Structure 1
Amino acid sequence: MRLIFIVFISICLANKTLVILERNEDQQKFSQFIELLKKNGDEVEIINKMTLFQLFENGEKKYSNVILLTPHYTFKKVSVKEFIQFIDNGGNMVITLGKKYEDGYKQLLYSLDMEVDSNGSNVVDEKHTVKIGEFEMIFSNNVHNNQNIFNQRIQNILFSGIGLYLPPSPFTSSLLKAQDSASTSLFPNVSFAQETNITLVASLQARNNARIIVSGSSLLFSNIAFDSVIEHPSLNLIKSDNKKFTENIIDWVLQRRCVIRMKNIHWEKINGVKEVDYDHQLVINDTIKVNVELEQLNQGNYVPFNVDDLQIEFKLLDPVIVKNFKRIDNGKYEVIVQTPDKFGVYTMIINYRRPFLSYLEYKETIPLRTFRLTQVDRFLTGAYPFYAACASMAVGFIVFSFIYLNQIEKKEIKQD
């Protein structure tokens, strides 16, 4: 009964998003962004930073996604530790900053393998600055070119905020960087964040497939940035691509896209020594066939996912065998592999990790034993040279003994 209740609660709370604003009036300021959150019929709850709320209820996540659209949240009502716990439980987050932000954001970003520029700093770029209403904003077309997350050409993104720094990590990526001419207002001679470009918007996908977007600007997601036309001497009049950029990263962070899964994983022995009734373990040098299916989420439904680089590993301490799967049908894969020739407890691993796609990992412990006496051939083909050596030595010994003894008898006869 408890299991049914938990499943029911999980279904009810699926794709529920919490949006935390600076003030209630900001709903109008970010109305187009909020509509993107509701695009697939997802439930969206909107509160201001002073409202009491909880991320967990009865030990379960209350929301699937949390959007922090305020750089001034104090983390007193819900602590940084609780937000980290939310991510550890598979929750997705969008975090936005500004020129000034609360100190709690530094601690939160540090836990996500990211850092933020000094409080009060600002990204400036004299060559790529435009006036948008009351704001001075820079624009950049330095967008990450990965097709998984951005499936269309995007350029000229308006930005007004602070820079980010991404230490080397396999889990983080820069989605939007400033142009080469950009710097920070506090340290104009130092290119903060990266050696060449300042990171403006970053992403993280955790080991548990929780997804996080961090933007140094909340204005990037505002109506004014979505609707603005960029007037600059280096460009013709051109509409900003902030809305297209936001739509792509929101679909990614809310796990509407780039979600893949494995199913129907099955392996069977197809060749090797004959099994005995009381022991169904694999034996060294057995041949097994492994089958698996891959699917990708597409517009709310899972469809076959085709790749050419899916691999299987047999690992003891280090990978002993690594072999590619062969696609036999749409989204279906097969590999025939011979188990290692050394006995031990191995781990069979199917591991698929690619940028911006869900991490897939399947592990199964497989003990390999040596041959039993009843499973070993009486005469081994590979041992024929040794058999011949023993036989020739025995024949040679008999012949030598016969000749030697015969010679002794002849000598005794002559002496007599």
Structure 2
Amino acid sequence: MRLAASLGACLALGAAWLRVVCAGSAMGDRLLVLVPTAEAAGGYSELLGSLAERGFDVSVRAASNSSVALHVDGRRQYDHAVLLAPAAKRLGAALTAHSFVRFVDDGGNLVVVGSSDMSDQSRKLAAQFGVVFEKHGSRVVDHSHHLVTDGTGDHAVVAASRLAAVPAVLSPQLLEAPGTVYFRGIGHRYDPSNPLLTPALTGAPTTYSDLSGDEVLSGRQLGLVSVFQTRRNARVAFSGSADLFSDAFMRTTQSRNRQLVHDITQWTFQEKAVLREVARRHYLAATGMQPEHYRVSNDMVYEIDLSVYYDDAWRPYEADDVQFEAIMLDPYIRTTLNRTRSSGPAATYRGDIRLPDRYGTFTFRVNYKRTGLANVDVKDTVAIWPLRHDEYPRFLSAAYPYYTGSFVMMVGFLALCAAWLWSAEPSKPVTQAKPATQVKPATQAKPATQAKPATQAKHTAKSKPKSS
């Protein structure tokens, strides 16, 4: 333990003069490196020396040291951590998978390496981020692309060259220059639909995992090195090979391991591709002032300043896909902002926007997420009020036909009334009335016939002869 501490101190002191000019992290320089034993730190001198030269305060500790803790009294003790002890079955009392997850949730950055004899605790830690390593004892094999030394080849030392084209993570020197990365270890599975996880190095078509089970894991499905960025911009890197970081592989002829390790650690420890919002503002286009509330259909201006961190400095971020959204449950407006100027370490993006013809509580949002870059998600809640009764226009151009129809109807009604009031009927000549005719007297009614007596009627009926 003393040897590891002395090594870390010597590296830090020896590179103190480089800290001013070399890149530093935007999140801090406290770095914890966990190795299997104190003596094992000597096999990673290239890595530790590079970290010290870049300005990190490197603390090398044995993974089984019970005095090492990521949090003390609820406070994070380190800004970054490297777990270089994949086979360690027993870590310190305070070093558990849960403590590492809490470390990342609290904003810490982490590098996790694996091997064929990877412990269950490291597997559980990787599974929390969607990385599933292969079975215990499995290894990555390639019979066509492997390391050849002294005429003999080791098919378990894969010469990988399939790098992901992610400029925010991997440098142009690595993506454009030819070369191979030597890898000896275990592969892992990853979900390609996971937007937070990005495979940085995958297997070639001839690369496969020898103990994958029923479904052989090979090609692009076989992850060798992957990076993960949380929604709070903490970063985690996973490698199935601890030898990839070792001095032996970095010093191999035509090896690109040194450049790959430099790029992966530089991205993970937030020395580059860190995007942030410096300032934002919105105001009325007519007055240049920000009101307490807007009115429907107001013309407003939205501006946001963005900076990106690399080469130990904040610089203006240049892009053409920064979008603004005005949201009330659903986006009512989505428009691309235009980069107008660069003032100091930030670039200004501006949008001239007409607010929707809808009142309510809206959210002005810029949600910018790109692979490898830190997420920028800023929100402002504003109120949009309807117009007052005296703020509406007196006449609407779209209603001119209705105005015309109303006036025509009124004019026609007045003309009809005038025609009815001022028009007289033609006069008729007065004629002498005829004398009334004399009413004839009513005619006398005929006398009613006398009814025959009943006896006479009976006699008449009896006197009738019977028919034969």
- Name the TM tier (shorter chain): 0.7 to 0.9
Q: State whether structure 2 residue 194 is matched by structure 1 residue 169.
A: yes
Structure 2 residue 57 is matched with structure 1 residue 43: yes
C-alpha change, 1:205 and 1:263, in structure 2 (3 Å) is same
Residues 127 and 181 in structure 1, CA contact (< 8 A), matched pair in contact too: yes
Residue 145 of structure 1, aligned match among 139, 155, 165:
165
Please give the per-residue CA displacement for 1:166-212, whole angstroms capped at 9, x wherever unaligned: 112001111001111111121387432x7744110000011000011
Task: Decide whether the 8 Å contact of 1:179 with 1:197 is kept in 2.
Answer: no
Return the offset for 1:44.
0.9
1:224 alignment partner, SS class:
helix
* Maintained 8 Å contact 2:107/2:233: yes
Alignment of 1:121-270 (within 5 A): 121-130=138-147, 136-151=156-171, 152-154=173-175, 155-167=179-191, 168-187=193-212, 190-192=215-217, 196-229=220-253, 239-270=254-285
In the TM superposition, residue 297 of structure 1 has moved relative to its aligned partner by 1.3
3-state SS of 1:303 partner: strand
Q: Deviations over 1:13-55 (max 9, x none)?
A: 9320111101111111011111122222210111111102211
Distance 2:212 2:364 in 1: 51
Tell me the equivalent position of 2:8.
none
Cα deviation 1:249-300 (Å, max 9, x = unaligned): 111001001112121211110139x99xxx8310011111122222121321
Q: Which residue of 2 aligns with 1:315?
A: 327
Structure 1 equivalent of residue 376 of structure 2:
360
Task: Find the aligned partners of 1:401 and 1:80 in 2 and give their Cα distance.
Answer: 94
Q: Which residue, out of 6, 21, 31, partners 1:17? A: 31
RMSD, matched Cα: 2.5
CA distance in 1, matches of 2:73, 2:122: 27
Structure 1 residue runs of 5 or longer lacking an equivalent are 1-10, 230-238
Change (3 A) 1:222 1:387: same
- Map 1:335-350; keep pairs closer than 5 Å: 335-350=351-366
Partner of 1:234: none
CA deviation after TM superposition for structure 1 residue 370, in Å: 0.6
Q: Deviations over 1:360-400 (max 9, x none)?
A: 11110111111011322333333332222222222222223
Runs of at least 5 residues in structure 2 that lack an aligned partner in the other structure: 1-24, 431-468
| Residue 324 (structure 1) aligned with residue 336 (structure 2) | yes
- For residue 38 of structure 1, give the secondary structure of its aligned residue in structure 2: helix
Task: Return the alpha-carbon distance in structure 2 between the equivalents of residues 310 and 344 of structure 1.
Answer: 25
Q: Is the 8 A contact 1:180 1:197 kept in 2?
A: no
Task: Report how far residue 101 of structure 1 moved.
Answer: 1.4
* AA at the equivalent of 2:224: L
1:393 equivalent in alignment to 2:414: no
2:101 paired residue number:
84
SS at match of 2:101: helix
Judge conservation of contact 2:202–2:220 (CA < 8 Å) in 1.
no
Relative distance call for 1:209 and 1:415 in structure 2 (3 A) is farther
Alignment of 1:264-283 (within 5 A): 264-271=279-286, 280-283=292-295
SS at match of 1:33: helix
Assess, with a 3 A threshold, how the Cα gap between structure 1 residues 21 and 399 changes in structure 2: closer, same or farther: same
User: How does the TM-score come out when normalised to structure 2?
Assistant: 0.78
Quote the Cα distance in structure 1 between the aligned partners of 2:190 and 2:141.
19
The separation in 1 between residues aligned to 2:276 and 2:149, in whole angstroms, is 43
Question: Taking structure 1 as reference, are residues 189 and 157 closer, same or farther at Cα in structure 2, changes over 3 Å only?
Answer: farther
3-state SS of the aligned residue for 1:394?
helix
Q: Would the alpha carbon gap of residues 371 and 197 (structure 1) be closer, same or farther in structure 2, given more than 3 Å must change?
A: same
SS at match of 1:30: helix
The residue type paired with residue 222 of structure 2 is: I
Q: Percent identity?
A: 24
The farther-off stretch of 111-120 and 206-215 is 111-120
Question: Structure 1 101/414 Cα, relative in aligned 2: closer, same or farther at 3 Å?
Answer: farther
Distance 1:251 1:195 in 2: 27
The 2-side partners of 1:189 and 1:130 are apart by 28
**TM-score, structure 1 as length reference:** 0.87
Residue in 1 that maps onto 2:314? 302
Aligned amino acid, residue 264 of structure 2: I
How many residues get paired? Answer: 389
Q: Name the SS of the counterpart of 1:19 in structure 2.
A: strand
State the alpha-carbon separation in 1 of the partners of residues 419 and 128 from structure 2: 88
Match for 1:367: what amino acid? A
Contact kept in structure 2, 1:182 and 1:197, CA below 8 Å = no
Residue 438 of structure 2 corresponds to none
CA–CA separation in structure 2 for the residues paired with 1:246 and 1:88: 24
Partners of 2:64 and 2:429 in 1: how far apart? 127
Letter aligned with residue 166 of structure 2: N
Output one character per residue of 1:208-235: Cα deviation in whole Å (capped at 9) or x when no partner: 0001100001110000000112xxxxxx
Shift of 1:327: 1.6
Equivalent-residue separation in structure 1 for 2:219 and 2:243 (angstroms):
26
